[in-house]
Amino acid sequence: MPEIAPLSNDHDRAGFDCGVAELNAFLKSTARQHVKKGISRTFVLTDQESPAVIMGFFTLTLCEIEAESLPSSYARKYPKHGLPAVRLARLAVSLKHQRKGYGELLLAEAIHRTVLISEQAGIVGLFVDAKNEGARSFYEKFGFASLPSASLQLFLPMKTLHAANSPT
């Protein structure tokens, strides 16, 4: 049974390969340093039978977004200064576990954790920088909207996050 937990020393980062060198390098060399420095938090998907093997991961961090960079329907709702938000900095699934729904599971957990953050501190939504058009299409299936100035930067507003996080 899959489990999602904070990245720890017990996880085999060296054995992870999602097919994207930048994401592999982040998990192997940078993720734990960022956790120690308070820059971001990385969560890993493992299986109870092999808890050290990382099947996938995502990283969350806080960010600030300028209201004018949002789609116009949202931009006009906010003051014209930096707005607090959460950024889904990275999301990856190992090659061996791709196309099995684990990306969706990781995204759902990231959304859930973003909603929890919103209950403790004000944020306007969840942002992600898609690595390519395929990744952009993946996020758009879940309601993310491209920012007008950059099609690979996407935004999921709090209303949508709350709806996605609600039990059905």
> Under 8 Å CB-to-CB from 158, ≥6 apart: which residues?
118, 123, 124, 125
For the chain, the structural domain boundaries read 2-165
Total-model pTM: 0.93
SS3 102: helix
**What digits encode the pLDDT tens for the residues 25-41?**
999 999 999 999 999 99
Residues 158/124, Cβ–Cβ less than 8 Å: yes
> What is the second-level CATH architecture of the domain 2-165?
3-Layer(aba) Sandwich (3.40)
Q: Identify the pLDDT of residue 167.
A: 64
Q: Mean pLDDT for each consecutive 10-residue tract of the chain (168 residues)?
A: 94 95 96 96 94 97 92 86 95 96 96 95 94 92 90 90 74
Among residues 114, 103, 132, the alpha carbon closest in space to that of 62 is found at: 114
